[in-house]
Amino acid sequence: MIEIENVRKSFGALEVLKGINLTVAKGEVLTVIGGSGSGKSTLLTCINGLEPIDSGRILVDGVEVHAKSTDLNKLRQKIGIVFQQWNAFPHLTVLENVMLAQVKVLKRSKAEAEAEAAKQLNHVGLGEKMSVYPSRLSGGQQQRMAIARALAMSPDYMLFDEVTSALDPQLVGEVLDTLRMLASEGMTMICVTHEMKFAREVSDRVAFFHKGVMAEIAPPEQLFGAPKDPELQKFLAATH
C-alpha cells in the first residue's frame, strides 16, 4: 500500500504539491490527470525518493520513503518507475539493458537474470529484439524495453510518468496495450497520463491534479461522467 499524507513540495518559490493526501491499495490502478505544472509528475518522483519532500510523509508498505534511516536503493527495488524519456542504456543490448540491475542490485546470477529478462521482453513483445542495441529500436519499442527493465526487478508497484508523451502518435497504442496488459494482471500502478480514453478504461480511480492540489478523485465513470470540480470540468471540456 502507498500512503501519501499531507505532502508538500516546492521548487524555490513555486509550491508544486500543496498538501496531497492519497492512498493507493495493492492491486489498484490509479491514473493521475491534469494540466502541465499541476504537480502530478513530481508526486511520482517523490514516491520513489528521487525527489525530497518539504513536509508530510509517504509510506510504502509502512516504510517511510524520506526517513533518514530508509535504504532508498532497497526500497526502489519494490517500486518500478518508467519515465517519459525512456533512457535506454545505449551501450548495452536490449537483453543486457534488462539484465544489468538484476545482476548488480538484486545479485541474481547471469543465467537467472537472462531468463527473467527474456521472459519480460517476450511479455512486452520484444522477444525478437533481444540482441540488438537500443538505437535500432523505435521509440515505442524503447519504451516497452524500459517497462520490461523495470518489471524484471519484480517490483510490487509500478509508476508510469507520461510514458506515451514523447512518442509519435502511431506508437502510443503499443505502449498503452502493454500498460493495459499489466493492469489486467493485477499490477499496482500509478499512471500519470494525458490519454483520457486509456484512463477511463483501465483505472480503478482517477485523480485530477490542478496547481499542486488533488482537486478530485473518483472512479472513472463518475469523474468523467459527472465531474464536480469546476477546474476539472474546464479541463475535460478542453481535452475532448
Partner 1 sequence: MFNYNFRWNQALNSLPQMLEGALVTMEIAILSMVIGISVAILLTLFRLSGNRLLYAIATTWVEIARNTPALFQIYMVHFGLGGFGIHLSPYLSLLIGIAFNNAGYLAENFRGALKAIPETQTRAARSLGMTPIQAFQNVILPQMLRISFLPMTNQMVWAILMTSLGAVVAMNTDLYGVTSDLNARTFRTFELFAIAAVIFYVITKVITLSARLLAARLFRY
- Tell me how far apart the alpha carbons of residues 205 and 190 are, in angstroms, rounded to a whole number: 10
Strand order in the sheet with 188-192: 79-82, 157-161, 188-192, 29-34, 205-210, 213-218
Based on the shown chain and the rule CB under 8 A, indicate whether residue 222 belongs to the binding site for partner 1. Answer: no
Q: How far is the CB of 33 from partner 1 (least distance, A)?
A: 23
Nearer to partner 1, 34 or 80 (CB): 80
Closest alpha carbon to 83 in 165, 189, 201, 179: 165
End-to-end CA distance of the chain: 33
Site residues for partner 1, 12-71, by CB under 8 A, read 48, 50
75 close to 115: Cβ distance less than 8 angstroms: no
C-beta closer to partner 1: residue 106 or 217: 106
Q: What is the rounded distance in angstroms from the CA atom of residue 101 to the CA atom of residue 106? A: 7
* Distance in Å, CB of 119 to partner 1, minimum: 17
Q: Which of 30, 153, 189, 192 binds partner 1 (CB under 8 A)?
A: 153
Rounded distance between C-alpha atoms, residue 188 and residue 27, angstroms? 4
CB 41 within 8 A of CB 218: no
Q: What is the closest distance, in whole angstroms, from the C-beta atom of residue 36 to partner 1 in the complex?
A: 18
Q: Nine-digit cell at 4?
A: 501519501
Query: Of 75-114, which residues contact partner 1 (CB under 8 A)?
Result: 76-77, 80-81, 83, 85, 87, 89-92, 100-101, 104-106
- Based on the shown chain and the rule CB under 8 A, indicate whether residue 149 belongs to the binding site for partner 1: yes
In angstroms, give the least distance from the CB of 116 to partner 1.
13
Residue ranges binding partner 1 (CB under 8 A)? 48, 50, 73-74, 76-77, 80-81, 83, 85, 87, 89-92, 100-101, 104-106, 133-135, 146, 149-150, 153
